[in-house]
Structure 1
Amino acid sequence: MKSENIVQTKSYDFAFKIIKIYKYLSQDKREFVLSKQLLRSGTSIGANIEESIGGQSKADFFAKITIAYKETRETKYWIRLLRDSDYLTIEHSNDLLNDAEELLKIIGSIQKSIRNS
């Protein structure tokens, strides 16, 4: 039995939360520009993780992991902006920011391991 890939699972779960927040922002708050940016960057993290897993080489894997790291940082930016402009509550934004920070730590650790191997 294959063990769970924690970054794959967490990035998927994060993307799912982002989709729910996007629906809330676009339907309830009628906010379309910032929420679309959040949707793109927040779901891109998991997509790049998936691509890295299927990478054809170590360099390909590292490149996709690095993109996932950058997308996670960008997502944090959009979350903070939505929070500070009162589209997201402190509670919702803190939950998302904590998840994003956890992803950054995991992805950063993967990058470090690759660099040191």
Structure 2
Amino acid sequence: MRENIIIDKSYEFALRVVKVYKFLNRKNEFVLSKQLLKSGTSIGANVTEAQEAISKKDFKNKMSIALKEAVESRYWINLLKDSDYISEMQANSLLQDLKDIIKILTKIVKNAS
């Protein structure tokens, strides 16, 4: 069976986000970490939902939402980095994963049009 790269990448990213969330909660940071948790895990949830879309329009809509959540996650990661909750190295690693996810999702959304 052929693997689905966007499902795999978005799931792996969600796992990383959960770990960052736990780490930040131990540092008593609850607000920004919760925002990242919501947007970062929503990417994969929407990608997974898109696999069962009832129409091409529904598929494109779910993938578009996943793309928006990825862009939002990038914002929260940068904010966490710039407010010194996570290191630049941690942020850059997460941002590289997001860059790949955003690139793939952008192609999927464009091709679904």
* TM-score with structure 1 setting the length: 0.95
1:32-73 alpha-carbon deviations (Å, 9 max, x no partner): 000000000000000000000110110000000000000000
- SS of 2:112's partner is helix
**What are structure 2's unaligned runs of at least 5 residues?**
none
Identity of aligned residues (%): 51
- How far, CA to CA, are the matches of 1:58 and 1:113 in structure 2? 11
CA RMSD of aligned residues (A): 0.5
The one-letter amino acid of 2:15's match is F
1:54 to 28, 52, 55: 52
Distance 1:13 1:49 in 2: 13
Q: Which runs of 4+ in 1 moved over 4 A?
A: none
Number of matched residues? 113
Could you tell me the TM-score, scaled by structure 2's length? 0.99
Matched residue, 1:113:
111
Q: Which amino acid aligns with 1:111?
A: V
